Amino acid sequence: MSKNEISGGEAIVRALESEGVEYLFGISGGSVIPIFDAIVTTKTNIKMVLTRHEQGATHMADGYARATGKPGVVLVTSGPGATNALTGMMTAHMDSVPMVVITGQSIRPMLGKDAFQEADIFGMAMPVVKHSYLVRETNDIPRIFREAFHISSTGRPGPVLIDIPKDVSAGLCSLDAKTDMDLPGYKPQVPPDHEAIMQMAEALSKSRRPVLLVGHGALIAGASAQVRAFAEKMNAPVMTTFLGKGAFPETHELSLGWPGMHGTAYANKALCECDLIMSIGSRFDDRILGRQDQFCKNAVKLHVDIDPAEIGKMIRPDIYCVGDAREVVEELTKHVGRLNTEEWVSHLADYKKSFPLKYRKTGGLKMQHVVDELYRMTEGRAVVVTDVGQHQMWAGQFYRTDYPDNWISSGGAGTMGFGVPAAVGAQFGRPNDLVVCISGDGGFQMMNQELTTAVIHKLPIKFFVMNNHYLGMVRQWQELFYEDRKSGVDLEGNPDFVKMAEAYGMKGFNLKRPGDVKRILKKALDYNEGPCLVNAEVEKTDNVFPMVPAGKPLEDMLISRPRHKLDKPTGST
Amino acid sequence: MNQTMANGTQTHTLSALVANKPGVLARIAQVFARRGFNIDSLVVSPTRDGNFSRMTMTALGDPSGLDQIIKQVNKLVDVINCSDLTDKNIVVKELMMLKVRVQSDQRTELLQVAEHFGARSVDLTDESLTMMITGNSDKLDAYVELCKKYDIIELVRTGKVVMARGPQET
């Protein structure tokens, strides 16, 4: 090695340092040994977090990214290491999360020859990444890493894969290697079209029953203050999407919570009655639309999105503006005044009173009760990370989110197993904030090995297992639409989760009676010797309402359990 | 030139300028396949600047579905731009080779047809004749039609290549 050269592994570590990376989440393996070696030889300050499964590494990076806004970085080996990371890439892709995934690869002469632990991850990952690289020359490392971080974190963020053959990371990189980006086809952001903004202002001025639908894009753009000023100036009601929770305070009097399949009744009713809907950084997800062709039938539709491919994908807007949510809203706010919405706002306030989210504290222990009490005792300030299923919907309903980046949940992908590792990643990113993880017993067991990481690093996360001994959401569908024929949902044989926590070296608490909720929660929240776990033995067969059966228009929302038999849903899951 | 079906679907001609890198074609093909569109013809070739390639594709489908595909293709990092050139002011050409089993007694007749279409013979044996023809797709179709009464052994078409008329780039 001449003085003017460093190893490929070292070039990778230096590239990560220059991007300001704090943590690498991953697992070593044969084809990444040169990179893991460089972590030692460079004496870098980047901390390597050794997970117990590559999928766990990707969700950790995801949780870190959503909690901080910075790209999460994953480092795993080739073959099964890389394929295990696919689910995490897909999860990040669906929810526009910045992530850089570095995978090892067989040496170049062996590519395509079924070498040991060879997988064409570049090919496999194509539909679930924003972009991907197979690094063919060691001297390309500095440029490719710079491009990857840029692509991952600008415009509509997403995961970027960098697949690195072992002989490339073990090769030599010139210190003069180019770092200039070469991305002639990448157009992450365009300035908002003034004409469209003026047309939107005009449409808003005519509206008497407007609603703003504020999505994850507004959070990514850091537009929550601008959205609030915009809504307050117009006196327009706001609903945040499930992933947009925190973009507008849910305790604000203009807030309608979140709409859609298990959203609030008043948000869905507002969608049925509005004369104008303006989406700011939402993609009109199918969970929100109900029946696509019936959605907001009589309303003028405005769409603001940074991604031109979202315009007209689900809903054809009357007026649209491609651009950054913060820039568009800031500009638009200058051109609007207070709208004539007194009647509409008071009408919706009546709906909020008549159709509140509710549950009974009597009878068996309810997940809603645990979440509701957690919300009160943490004063709504916790970073809440969820898994996927019934508990996720109730967490979304009863843990109201007032602050940006405090709600972390797998929305688009609905990846069970997300909660535990994502909470670990979030706590790494936000060491001074309270992080709680709400999982069901199903999803918890898909990634519980990552508790080890929380224990080793003494992360004070509160893990809640909402244990109903069922895959509850599917059981709910079977009860409502399939004459209660339970199939593949009974989680008999669950381990004792408190003993399991203890086996990992954590504190565990059992919670069984509604009367104990406050006491146990206080114990968990006061516990500061690292992570702890609360096993909440909840009612086994409770159902989430409101519910819009998949494929039905929002008008057909069920506020509570119907007495009549329901048809099998026609819409997607 | 553009085939329009009863249900509103139409053959569209798309042109994309892309970075000349491995994997670009796979990325674009995935966008089509995922949405159930079949690429009927595809031509990829380097441009004047070797860093870029020009792809010309034809696909049959309804305009709104195709519009979404074009947006998704434009979103790909390696795609400089992609647009639908159907109904635009463009020159469209295609090349075809057609091999016919023919004895000497029918050869003259076949060459007369070829002359009418501006096709020329590129290979000749005692029992076969291979013709090459360029032009727009309708002309090629008509030529194939007329040759059907002979014994066509095989034919191969390049797919459309297009270029904008006038001084502007495609």
Q: Nearest CA of chain B to the CA of A312: how many Å?
A: 8
In chain A, residues with a C-beta closer than 8 Å to the C-beta of B55 are none
The domain over range A367-545 is classified in CATH as 3.40.50.970: yes
Say if residue A111 is exposed, middle or buried (CB neighbours under 10 Å; 0-12, 13-18, 19+): middle
Q: Tokens at residue A125, please? A: 């990952």
A473 among known catalytic residues: yes
Residue A26: in which H helix or E strand, if any?
strand A23-26
Domain limits, chain A: 5-174, 194-354, 367-545
CATH 3.40.50.970, domain A5-174, yes or no? yes
Residue A362's pLDDT band (boundaries 50, 70, 90)? confident
Whether complex ipTM tops 0.85: yes
Cβ of B77 under 8 Å from any chain A Cβ? yes
Q: Verify whether residue A233 is a known catalytic residue.
A: no
Confidence of residue A563 (pLDDT cuts 50, 70, 90): confident
Summarised one tens digit per residue, pLDDT across range A198-242 is: 999 999 999 999 999 999 999 999 999 999 999 999 999 999 999
Mean pLDDT of A58-69: 98
Contact assignment for B30 to A130 by CB distance below 8 Å: no
| B82: exposed, middle or buried (Cβ count in 10 Å: 0-12, 13-18, 19+) | buried
pLDDT at residue A142 tops 60: yes
| Candidates 3.30.1490.20, 3.30.710.10, 3.40.50.1220, 3.40.50.300; CATH matching A194-354 | 3.40.50.1220
Report residue A109 as tokens: 């002469």
How many of the other CB atoms lie within 10 Å of CB of A342?
A: 11
Confidence band for A282, pLDDT divided at 50, 70 and 90: very high
CA distance A377 to A462: 13
Percent of chain B with pLDDT over 90: 82
**b or e along B93-129 (b: 16 or more beta carbons within 10 Å of the residue's beta carbon)?**
ebbbbbbbebeeeeeeebbeebeebebeeeeeeeeeb
Cα nearest neighbour of B72 on chain A: A309
Residue corresponding to tokens 């979030």: A426
pLDDT > 90? residue A32: yes
A293: exposed, middle or buried (Cβ count in 10 Å: 0-12, 13-18, 19+):
exposed
B123 beta partners: B130
Report residue B3 CA to chain centroid gap: 14
Intrachain domains A5-174 and A367-545 with the same fold: yes
User: Given pLDDT bands bounded at 50, 70 and 90, which one contains residue B3?
Assistant: low
Indicate the residue type of A424. Answer: V
Clarify whether A200 is annotated catalytic: no
On the question of pLDDT at A287 being above 60, the answer is yes
Place of tokens 């074009």: B70
Give the integer Cα–Cα distance in Å for A65 and A422. 9
Q: Which residue matches tokens 């990560």? A: A16
C-alpha span between A318 and A191 (Å, rounded): 20
Which chain A residues are within 8 Å of B72, Cβ to Cβ?
Answer: 309
DSSP H or E run through A253: none
Query: What is the maximal distance between C-alpha atoms in chain B?
Result: 58
Give the separation between CA A21 and CA A14, rounded to whole angstroms.
10
- In this structure, what token pair is assigned to residue A103? 């995978």
Residue given tokens 């709600």 in the structure block: A407
Q: CB neighbours (10 Å) of residue B22?
A: 10
Interior angle at CA A77, CA A76 and CA A78, nearest 5: 130
| CB contact at 8 A, A546 and A262 | yes
CB-based contact (8 Å) between B72 and chain A?
yes
| pLDDT tens-digit map of B70-116 | 999 999 999 999 999 988 999 999 999 999 999 989 999 999 999 99
Minimum Cα–Cα distance from A135: chain B residue: B22
Q: Are strands A462-467 and A532-537 parallel, antiparallel or unpaired?
A: parallel
Q: Is residue B82 helix, strand or coil?
A: strand
| Chain B residues close to A189, C-beta within 8 Å | none
- B68/A contact by beta carbon, under 8 A: yes
Give me the pLDDT at residue B10, please.
82
How far apart are the C-alpha atoms of B31 and A213, rounded to whole Å? Answer: 28
Taken in order of first residue, the domains within chain B and their CATH numbers are 10-87 (3.30.70.260), 91-163 (3.30.70.1150)
Q: How much is the mean pLDDT over chain A? A: 97
CA distances from A176 to A13, A141, A142 (A): 16, 12, 10
Q: Considering only CB atoms, which chain B residues are within 8 Å of A134?
A: 22-23
Asked whether the predicted pLDDT for residue B2 surpasses 60, the reply is: no
| pLDDT at residue number A2 | 80
Q: Do B72 and A309 touch (CB under 8 A)?
A: yes
Residue written as token pair 């206080």? A522
Per the CB < 8 Å rule, is A309 touching B78? no
Indicate if A166 belongs to the active site: yes
All residues of chain B having their beta carbon less than 8 Å from the beta carbon of residue A132 are: 23
Q: How many CB atoms lie within 10 A of CB A425?
A: 33
- The stretches of A42-112 forming alpha helices (DSSP H) are 54-68, 80-84, 86-94
Query: Using one digit for the tens of pLDDT, what is the confidence trace for B67-76?
Result: 999 999 999 9
Q: Indicate yes or no: pTM above 0.90.
A: yes
Q: What pLDDT score was predicted for residue B1?
A: 42
CA A440-A558-A298 angle, to 5 degrees, is 120
- Cβ of B67 within 8 Å of Cβ of A132? The answer is no
Among B30, B68, B76, the residue with its CB nearest the CB of A313 is B68
Q: What does the pLDDT read at residue B9?
A: 78
- Cβ within 8 Å, pair B23-A122: yes
User: Which residue has 């069970």 as its token pair?
Assistant: A416
